[in-house]
Amino acid sequence: MSEKHDIRPGQSLDLLKELHILTRDGKMNQDSRRKLKQVYHLYQFIEPLLQEIQSEHQNIHLVDHGAGKSYLGFILYDLFFKALDGGSQVYGIETRDELVGKSRLLAKKLNFSGMTFLNLSVMESTASELLPERIDIVTALHACDTATDDAIQFALKKKSQFVVLVPCCQAEVAKVLRKNKGKMLGGNSLVEIWRHALHTREFGSHVTNVLRCLQLEAHGYQVSVTELVGWEHSMKNELIIATYKDLPRRRPAERLHEVLDTLGLDELQGRFRTDL
């Protein structure tokens, strides 16, 4: 397949060069082709959500948390937002000031006027007047530290219609599992699931995402979980998509608390709150 068929019609070649997917002379190596395929695969999940929002109101507000170099935000803007009229905006939230500065320069260079980059933590952005009250869709792609969970809290407080997560940094649950392992060994045979250090890490990662899904469901969201095809080189290839449907909340909230209690994770009640 020729390189021109790897790139979507209307895609900015200048953007792909700036993101180092294309070389300066417009060439693409195998690694770049794989990277572009990954982004397009993720876009296939997000595009229908944007179209649904667009059918309901003209302006779309998307916030990308832990944006890093704003790779996802730029691709979304280029493929969807730049063709929109009015006040639609993509907001990139990032704590590293140098990355925010570079993203601002690139958006200006490409004339992507509907992109805004803010040097804020996710928690700070929740109360920031620099963001609109209505946020339609929240994304977090491999957001580091506690940013994935903070992005969920942000989406819940903003009552976002959609939440799209490729989760990362699930070490917090594993740390608590490890800490409480000794006192649970005598009374709960389930601790065998995470008795070994490798299993603690893997089980902790899995449980973290289960708790995130339950938390979203406990706030009325319908949640789907799938695998991002083509991300085999990364262990972080789980995709969580939550759609607000005002579903019954009591049962998932009860299940969330039961899981925390059964696994000795009660101290994480504040992280996975159901009472926002």
pLDDT 10s digits, 78-91: 999 999 977 899 99
Q: Same domain, yes or no, for 263 and 273?
A: yes
pLDDT 10s digits, 232-271: 555 568 899 999 999 999 999 999 999 999 999 999 998 8
Amino acid at site 56: E
Q: How confident is the model at residue 2 (pLDDT cuts 50, 70, 90)?
A: very low
Average pLDDT over residues 139-145: 78
Higher pLDDT, 38 or 2: 38
Q: How confident is the model at residue 9 (pLDDT cuts 50, 70, 90)?
A: confident
Most confident by average pLDDT, 72-76, 120-124, 215-219: 215-219
Q: Same domain, yes or no, for 26 and 106?
A: yes
Rounding to the nearest 10 degrees, give the CA dihedral for residues 273, 129, 140, 73. Answer: 170
- Looking at the 3D structure of the chain, how many domains does it have? 2
Q: What's the pTM value of the predicted model, to 2 decimals?
A: 0.91
Q: Same domain, yes or no, for 104 and 163?
A: yes
Q: Same domain, yes or no, for 138 and 150?
A: yes
Q: Same domain, yes or no, for 188 and 117?
A: no
Strand order in the sheet with 221-227: 115-119, 89-94, 61-65, 137-141, 162-166, 238-244, 221-227
Q: Same domain, yes or no, for 139 and 204?
A: no
Q: Classify residue 144: in a domain, yes or no.
A: yes
pLDDT at 8 over 90: no
Q: How far apart are CA 156 and CA 169, in angstroms?
A: 20
Containing structural domain, residue 60: 3-169
CB contact set of 3 (below 8 Å; sequence gap of 6+): 26, 27, 28, 33
- What is the chain's length? 276
pLDDT on residue 46: 96
Q: Same domain, yes or no, for 15 and 139?
A: yes
Q: Quickly tell me which residue has 């893997």 as its tokens.
A: 202
Task: Compute the Cα dihedral for 50, 55, 57, 58 and give only its sign.
Answer: positive
pLDDT 10s digits, 124-137: 999 999 999 999 99
pLDDT on residue 234: 53
- Whole-number Cα distances in Å, 263 to 73, 119, 175, 182, 200: 37, 37, 12, 12, 12
CATH number at residue 127: 3.40.50.150
Q: How far apart are CA 218 and CA 110, in angstroms?
A: 41
